Structure 1
């Protein structure tokens, strides 16, 4: 076979997991001698050439997990629920006597080179990877490297360890709640549509409309960028366009809060004239007037599950299920008018 043989190919022939192949090729004593020799022989026969990222990281055994945030215009460090995610990961990491390294890529024109540099210079045995733009091919390079990775989102291959929020289900729940409150012209303010979270929430919104026999109007979908200012601007655009709507579902709470400020500046009463629902259940959602109905995302639980999966992999224990979807929860407050009819 040619030189682009992957650890997945070796794992398939050997009848073991990709993580076991990674550990075996690194000479890790947690893999028994028979399995290690079998993997090494298959690798030699296939003329396997180790991936540079995986090889450089495997060379270091530091009992450390890296939490990597790829560089984006809206870095996860600015999200209020980042602390909850970090708390969940830290709790598990400390319990297993591991260390945690948090890293984000710098802003460089050659992003691929910057990723390689970051990975090579970190003493990490495995990676928890925060999702980025679907156009970021470098995320794929990390996930497909054969190095132990847990991806915090949906991945197209079923053998990759993932933990994801139910963004589709949360958006469906929010939209359905508005429909049951009697709203018939529901606008949706999305995040950037090259992010999987925004795509999933848009699809959940559309499916709820369809299931309740309501037409989808693309004019009522406004793409924004997760910030409060962009939520405000989205409402200004709808008002100036003369669009008729009686509800707004925003793709996160900050956009929802910005939308509420704009609605109130136009003299529109919440929820009498326009009901508003956000997503993420940040602390500020309880401080708005009226308080914001939202979708709770259990980020602490997501972090804990991801860390547990990765440490089980690193210690040679089976991981089931390989894909985990953590359900969302509707938190009803005053901005939508109360409970369902």
Structure 2
């Protein structure tokens, strides 16, 4: 088979759950040296080893979804997945990610070393957990066929504006995530939205456990702490193009490293993250044969597909059309799914 071009997508928080327990041990026994370095870093900070968390007898939501545990787990699994991609089958044109996935993308793309990326992820995940300012909820604006419901986005944003205008209420966009809007705010704002918006599929609005009010001004104190602990010298030139949470491209050998540090520990933390724009730019600017979504978990695949549909990529405009294309010529490969993983790793 001829070599294919790929854009790689790194996952964010919420992708390491009960089904993913043991993911690192199952898929990456050959990378023990790298995980030993990560565990050594955690030992210096008095934290439980990543391999011990992954190797626990049972999954504990209250433990494994904490920022100081989930972030390094997801980073270790996703970076190892990136290293496992068969380079004889795929040429990586660019790397992007969702939310925390931006840190992973930096490491995959070479702008951070594996250990430097781990330091960034572990530090920021720990700071998020220690501060735990605000929270997040998800609300969809597409129908079952992944087609946008007319007026739904406007309805959500109007409600956010209404709630935020009230005394001591904060609510706004956190992540534009394919067919979902991830909203963030303080407890008063979140509760008001949950109480006043129609309940959909008996699931939404869905509160995300152990998630702070990411990508809002609530996180400015966390950004300041991160900048104090993580120096710009950790950052270097990427080996492949990186697409950030604005849809901006950071090209190899052409990055201002100080600007990359400033965006990563500034705008990226306390301004909305436009994942949909990142995927749209990836599709239109790089025109890859496939999108490869790193594990753990396979939930991000839906958001990638929905983002591609909104960009009318390859003429696809709804879920049915995407499924027809996917069955004939797989365009989206999620490494968290065993059937698709085999196509990526060989």
TM-score for the superposition, normalised by structure 2: 0.23
Query: Higher helix share goes to which structure?
Result: 2
Greater gyration radius: 1
State the structure with bigger RCO (CA 8 A, min sep 6), 1 or 2.
Answer: 2
TM-score for the superposition, normalised by structure 1: 0.23
